[in-house]
Amino acid sequence: MFFDEDLKADRLPRGTVCLTYDDGPGESPGAGPGPHTRELGQYLRDEGVRATFFVVGRQIELHRDSVVALNGWGHLLGNHTYSHPGLVALAESGGDVVGEVERADALLRPLVSGPMIYLRAPYGNWRQTVEVAPGVFRDRPESIVAGILNASGKFPHVVGPVNWDIVAEDWECWRRGVPPEEAARRYVDAVDRVGRGIILMHDSSEDEFLRARNQTMRMTKEMVPQLKRKGYRFVRLDEIPQVRTAALVRSRVVLAADGGHPLALDPEGRDEIALDLSEHPPRLPFGVAPLAAGWFALRAPNGLFLSQPAAGTGLVTARSLEAGPRESLRFQLAGAAGFAVKCATGGYFTLAETERGPRLAVTPRRSQRLACTVDPVSLPAALVRNPRRIADSRFPIPDRSLATSSPRGPQTARCRDG
C-alpha cells in the first residue's frame, strides 16, 4: 500500500533512532573514499545495529552478493527504484513509474526475508508542488505517484513512501570535501536537536562525482560510538510503530459529512479528527487495517490508529500505536441510507460540536449521518468487479459500499453514524 503522506518516526521514544542508507549497494577497491556497502553492513552487524538499506535496482545487478550479505547480517533491504528517477516528474511526463518500482522489486524480492518490502522515493520526491503565494511552494496533499502505483494492483507487499526525520546532508559533505569526522559531528548534532527518528544517509550515489568521494562508511564508524555513549537506542525500520501500522493497511476510506466535507486530522495538531470546512478540501483517506472476525482499525495520516474514548463516549483521537478493543471498528448496514461505523466497545461514530468546530466522536446511538467513500484503486480488482466475493475475502467493508464503487474512481456510499 502506498500512502499520500510520508512515513516517518516522530512518535518513537526520545533517544531512539533508525539508520537508513540510500543509493547503494556500492563497492570500491582499497580503503580510500568511495562506497563500501559490504564493510559498512558488517561493521553495523558487529556493533549490534540493524540498519535499512534502500537499494537501487541497477546497483543490485552489479553487487548482488552485497545485498545477500546485508540480508544475512539482519539488515532490512528496501526498494529505491531501478534507475533512481524523480518519480513525480516521471509521472507527469507519462513515464513508467510502475516499471521503475517493479524492476527493482523483481531483483530485490528473491534476496530478502520477510513479507513486506518498503519503498523510499529517490530524493523523497512523492507529491507535486503548488505555488500558494509568489515564490512560496507547498506539496499537494495527494500523491500522483501513490495513485499510479496503487492503481496498478502489483504491489500488495510494498509499503511506502518511507521518508526521514533527521538529515545532515552527507552528500554535500562529500561534494565539499568535508572530513568524515566533521560529517559525523554534524549528524550527531542533528540527532541531538531532533531527539528521535529515521536518519537519512547514503552508502553510495547515482552521481559519479559524489560516489568517488563518498565517506559514509568512515562517518558511520565515527557516529555510532558517539550516539551509543549518549545513550541512543537503535531500531530497524520495521520496528518503528508508525511503519508497522502502515504495513497492516489493506485499503483506504474517506470519511465525510452529509454535505460532502471530509474528515481530517485536526490542523492544530491535537490528534483529533476534524470536519474540514474549507472551500476545496482534499479528500485524504484513512487506512483500513483488517483485524479478527471482520473488525478493522482506521489508520490516520499521522500513522496512528483512531481510538474510542476510554469513557465510552466523547471525542475520537488518533494516538494509538496498537490496534486493540478501543481501536476496533465495523461498518454496519443501516437500512437504505447505507452503513454506520460501529465501535467494538459500544457506540457509533458521530460528529460533535466543540468550541474548535465539529469533531469526530462516539455516541451511544445512531444520530448524525456521515458518508463513507471507498477508494477502489486500493482494493483487489476482483472485489471491485465482483462485490459479492467480499464474503470470501474477509474484507470488512460491506457489499453495498463496494457495489457503489467504480474502477474509474471513488464513489460515495451513504452511512448513518452513531
Question: Phi/psi of residue 234, each to 5°?
Answer: -105, 135
Together in a domain, 372 and 237: no
Is 90 exceeded by the pLDDT of residue 199?
yes
Together in a domain, 168 and 76: yes
161 preceded by cis ω (within 30°)?
Answer: yes
Here the CATH number for the domain that contains residue 16 is 3.20.20.370
> pLDDT tens for residues 226-252?
999 999 999 999 999 999 999 999 888
Together in a domain, 295 and 326: yes
Here the CATH number for the domain that contains residue 388 is 2.80.10.50
Together in a domain, 236 and 338: no
Together in a domain, 218 and 159: yes
The DSSP call for residue 353 is E
The residue among 332 and 66 whose pLDDT is bigger is 66
Is 80 exceeded by the pLDDT of residue 375?
no
The grid cell for 77 is: 533491504
> pLDDT tens for residues 85-121?
999 999 999 999 999 999 999 999 999 988 899 999 9
Asked whether residue 6 is assigned to any structural domain, the reply reads: yes
Query: Which whole-number Å values give the CA distances from 147 to 97, 256, 286, 407, 409, in the listed order?
Result: 11, 20, 15, 12, 11
Nearest to 140 by CA among 5, 262, 300, 7: 5
In the listed set 241, 274, 301, which residue is the last one of a domain according to the structure? 241
Together in a domain, 221 and 334: no
Together in a domain, 368 and 219: no
297-301, 309-313, 316-320, 349-353, range with the lowest pLDDT: 309-313
pTM passes above 0.85: yes
Asked whether residue 246 is assigned to any structural domain, the reply reads: no
Q: Kindly give the pairing relationship between strand 16-24 and strand 233-234.
A: parallel
Question: What confidence category does residue 387 fall into, taking pLDDT thresholds of 50, 70 and 90?
Answer: very low
In the listed set 211, 241, 271, which residue is the last one of a domain according to the structure? 241
Is 90 exceeded by the pLDDT of residue 400?
no
The whole-number pLDDT of residue 59 equals: 97
Is 80 exceeded by the pLDDT of residue 80?
yes
Is 80 exceeded by the pLDDT of residue 21?
yes
Is 60 exceeded by the pLDDT of residue 322?
yes
% of residues, the chain, pLDDT over 90? 65
14 burial class (0-12, 13-18, 19+ CB within 10 angstroms)? exposed
Q: How many domains would you assign to the chain?
A: 2
- For residue 28, what are the domain limits? 2-241
Please state, in angstroms and rounded to a whole number, the distance separating the CA atoms of residues 233 and 226: 12
8-12, 240-244, 377-381, range with the lowest pLDDT: 377-381
Task: Please state the rounded mean pLDDT for residues 61-73.
Answer: 97
Asked whether residue 247 is assigned to any structural domain, the reply reads: no
Is 70 exceeded by the pLDDT of residue 415?
no
Together in a domain, 225 and 272: no
Mean pLDDT score of the chain, rounded to an integer? Answer: 86
